[in-house]
Structure 1
Amino acid sequence: MKKVVFLFIWAFSPVLLTAQQPTPGKPRILISTDIGGTDPDDNQSMTHFLMYADRFQTEGLISSPSYGDGTKQHLLDMIALYEKDLPKLSRHNKNYPTPDALRAVCKQGRHGAAPLKGFATATEGSDWIIRCARHKSQQPLWVLVWGGLEDLAQALHDAPEIQSNIKVCWIGGPNKKWSANSYAYLVRNFPNLWFIEANGSYNGFFSNQGVPDSLRNEAYFDRYIQGAGHLGKDFKNYYKGIIKMGDTPSLLYLMDGNPADPSKESWGGSFEKMKHSPRQIFNRPTTQADTVGVYSVVELHFKGPHLPIAPDSACFTMRVQAQIGEQSWPGYYQGDGNYVILYIPKQSETLTYTISSGIADFPAHSGQFVVANQWPGQKGPDDFRVGSNWYTDRADPALFDGKQQGAKTVLKWRSAVLLDWARRWSWLR
């Protein structure tokens, strides 16, 4: 009886009938993920990817944990589950890649954030990005970044010519906060990179606003995933099966609509061009009278003792008190008694911070600033300039879902996406 009801919903759902057309061909993709780090939503998104792996030419799966302890092994563990479920998936579609083919493109990227300059030394992951980007093809290589930008920044530093061969779709937001140095390096040195910076839109994928009861985040597992193969059993380990999957919209963007034109609608959202990336430089402690935009680069500069250490050395700590609690960030010596730290706020709030170090005569101090929900906002004198192919969340207030800019461009397709995925889960029963 359940199967009959499901097929009825599948065939006659008005949401599905309004979905976009699948993209032609198989996009070449490379996924850089911080799977295994502090947020298990990457495991959920990896499950989704594996169940749709027939839709892509997968050229790379890179472990790039700018924060947390993720490794390549976390990717291999997910592929092992896929291998167990592959016989059932293949009954419905013969185009799934072999587990060994996926294992062969798993690479280890950088552990931890890059230093102030935004890059460090090559990794297996960054070298693999270069290798894939250099493949001769009529298609671009889509680099889908689910975490920090460190390996992408390293690859572009080591082989800047590859920027014309790649298109980047990045789930920013909190990931941008952990990757401030690499982001600043990219936007400063590669402003003409083809780049989607999704800071708010992706939130629409785990919004319950206007969603049918059976597709709500807390209900979907019991309704569609429970009892569906090894991947389904494992899914319960992440958020107790409650849907988040904040990185999935980068995949959805390539599964539907016209990826070459971010202004068009797609399951993964719709985006608009941005002409500047906001940055504010402060040469003094800040106060509540100072306001910065959400997702913008905040640079705090100050003077201190001259040290016999190399520039770009981490030597002090900024502790930030935010709504989620206290977090610590490294600051850097620039030489000649100059110190700097880059910080990117992820949400609107009032932040309090302290700066301290074990260095003798270090000028410890504290400050505050207000984060406004404006992105990218009005141009400022310190902003980075970007080229004609840098895109971000739509600023139309009607497309906000709560505080999340552009989120309704993803939310409007959420039911269609989850019902499409439910059909694939049924293959594993």
Structure 2
Amino acid sequence: KDLPKLKEHKQGFATPEYLRSVAKQGRHGGAPLKGYSTATEGSDWIIKCAQKISNKPLWVLVWGGLDDLAQALHDKPEIQKKIRVFWIGGPNKKWSANSYAYIAKNFQNLWFIESNSSYYGFFSNNVPDSLNNKNYYKNYINEAGYLGKDYKNNRYKGNLKMGDTPSLLYMMDGNPDNPMRENWGGSYVKFQQSPRLLFSHNTSIKDTVTVFSIIEFKFKGPVAKIPYDSACLTMTVKSEIGEQKWGGFYLGNGNYIVRYSPKRTETLTYKVTSSIKGFEEQSGVFVVDNFWPGKLRKTNFKLGSNWYTDRPNPELYDDIWQGGKTVLKWRSDVLLDWAKRWNWLR
């Protein structure tokens, strides 16, 4: 409905019909423990696009979990050489801990930007009042066009967030081949190990883990007559944002596992339950530090030469968010430029 007004200002916009034709459905829910399952329309589309004859890489911007990317890499490992990935991680790693573990373990030579916290700079409130999350809508969008009216009715009720947007901004600001330069989507550094911590005991306040790490909790229990990788546990985690539940799996021979990834520095408590007869409830607590990727460990995932992540410099933290200022410094410029586009719809 807004397309005619947009065309008055610039040509080349894709038609609604074309956009619908390239929108594909991905996986519903997270992957099982092994990190992949069966192909989806979305994973097949990644493969098809990666296999097109081109002298340019296919950029895959992942919003949410990595499950469809992991599936595509499993089904056609050779596309690893033809794609470049920009992933908004952080809390999204909680929902795709299994697919992340599969990719990090098996595709070390992937070209991969893992933005776990830099992107928080895009919805930081450390900006002028007119541009902050609560005021931007009334000052610059204010029901402009059909999209502006719909924006007011979204889940945030007009409150500006758009946390995954920095991946797109990264592609809009110059040459994307160098993640270490300054960019609207952040500036990143190489890292060669992704933290993975293993616990075979109930953790206590003395246990500290790395923020954004993959944590594997292993438990002993009854021998069950269920297949390997069966979802059979529930891990209930209490954090600052409330209570969340995560699935755990059967490893066979009375061994069980839950994978988890903490999204911020805090102290977390958990309990693990199961409907399997004889499985005793487990509980514990642990502390999450605030420096990623943290110390070297033998259990870490070893990465190749083209993995990039948030800058660790203390002066680039935006409040508690590592690297946040590498995105925050461009936020006002981006939002004021976006405001001009909203005026096209008036």
Q: TM-score range by the shorter chain?
A: over 0.9
2:257 to 340, 348, 356: 340
Does structure 2 retain, via aligned residues, the 8 Å contact 1:292–1:369? yes
Q: Matched residue of 1:241: which SS? A: coil
1:123-142 aligned at under 5 Å gives the runs 123-142=40-59
**Which residue does the alignment assign to 1:221?**
137
Amino acid in structure 1 at the alignment position of 2:135:
A
Query: What stretches of structure 2 of length at least 5 have no aligned partner?
Result: none
CA distance in structure 2 between the partners assigned to 1:188 and 1:90 by the alignment: 47
CA distance in structure 2 between the partners assigned to 1:165 and 1:314 by the alignment: 34
**Which residue does the alignment assign to 1:67?**
none
**Which residue does the alignment assign to 2:28?**
111
Does structure 2 retain, via aligned residues, the 8 Å contact 1:257–1:267? no
Deviation digits for residues 104-151 of structure 1 (CA, Å, limit 9, x no counterpart): 011111100011001111111111110011011121111111100110
Amino acid in structure 2 at the alignment position of 1:408:
K
1:46-65 aligned at under 5 Å gives the runs none
| CA deviation after TM superposition for structure 1 residue 227, in Å | 3.3
CA distance in structure 2 between the partners assigned to 1:240 and 1:366 by the alignment: 37
| CA deviation after TM superposition for structure 1 residue 201, in Å | 0.4
2:150 to 223, 234, 243: 234
Please say if 1:323 is aligned against 2:243: no
Q: Matched residue of 1:316: which SS? A: strand
**Which residue does the alignment assign to 2:16?**
99
Distance 1:227 1:353, change over 3 A: closer
Q: Matched residue of 2:186: which SS? A: coil
Q: Matched residue of 1:412: which SS? A: helix
2:213 to 282, 287, 296: 296
Q: TM-score, normalised by structure 2?
A: 0.98
Deviation digits for residues 202-249 of structure 1 (CA, Å, limit 9, x no counterpart): 00011121x223222212111111131111111111312111010110
CA distance in structure 1 between the partners assigned to 2:233 and 2:110 by the alignment: 32
1:148 to 61, 65, 77: 65
CA distance in structure 1 between the partners assigned to 2:211 and 2:157 by the alignment: 30
Compute the RMSD of aligned alpha carbons. Answer: 0.9
Q: TM-score, normalised by structure 1?
A: 0.79
Amino acid in structure 1 at the alignment position of 2:134:
E
Q: Matched residue of 1:409: which SS? A: helix
Does structure 2 retain, via aligned residues, the 8 Å contact 1:258–1:266? no
Amino acid in structure 2 at the alignment position of 1:223:
N
Identical columns (%):
64
Amino acid in structure 2 at the alignment position of 1:235:
Y
1:27-426 aligned at under 5 Å gives the runs 84-209=1-126, 211-238=127-154, 239-426=156-343
Does structure 2 retain, via aligned residues, the 8 Å contact 1:200–1:407? yes
Amino acid in structure 2 at the alignment position of 1:236:
K
Does structure 2 retain, via aligned residues, the 8 Å contact 1:257–1:265? no
CA distance in structure 2 between the partners assigned to 1:240 and 1:331 by the alignment: 35
Q: Matched residue of 2:227: which SS? A: coil
**Which residue does the alignment assign to 1:63?**
none
Deviation digits for residues 31-88 of structure 1 (CA, Å, limit 9, x no counterpart): xxxxxxxxxxxxxxxxxxxxxxxxxxxxxxxxxxxxxxxxxxxxxxxxxxxxx11111
CA distance in structure 2 between the partners assigned to 1:324 and 1:206 by the alignment: 17
CA distance in structure 2 between the partners assigned to 1:321 and 1:426 by the alignment: 44
Amino acid in structure 2 at the alignment position of 1:358:
S
Deviation digits for residues 335-370 of structure 1 (CA, Å, limit 9, x no counterpart): 121111101011111111111112111132211111
| CA deviation after TM superposition for structure 1 residue 257, in Å | 2.9
Query: Which structure carries more helix by proportion?
Result: 1
| CA deviation after TM superposition for structure 1 residue 428, in Å | 0.6
Amino acid in structure 2 at the alignment position of 1:321:
K
CA distance in structure 1 between the partners assigned to 2:128 and 2:238 by the alignment: 37
Does structure 1 retain, via aligned residues, the 8 Å contact 2:143–2:152? no
Amino acid in structure 2 at the alignment position of 1:380:
R
Amino acid in structure 1 at the alignment position of 2:114:
E
Find runs of 4+ consecutive structure 1 residues off by over 3 angstroms.
none
| CA deviation after TM superposition for structure 1 residue 186, in Å | 0.6
Does structure 1 retain, via aligned residues, the 8 Å contact 2:190–2:309? yes
| CA deviation after TM superposition for structure 1 residue 177, in Å | 0.9
Amino acid in structure 1 at the alignment position of 2:263:
K
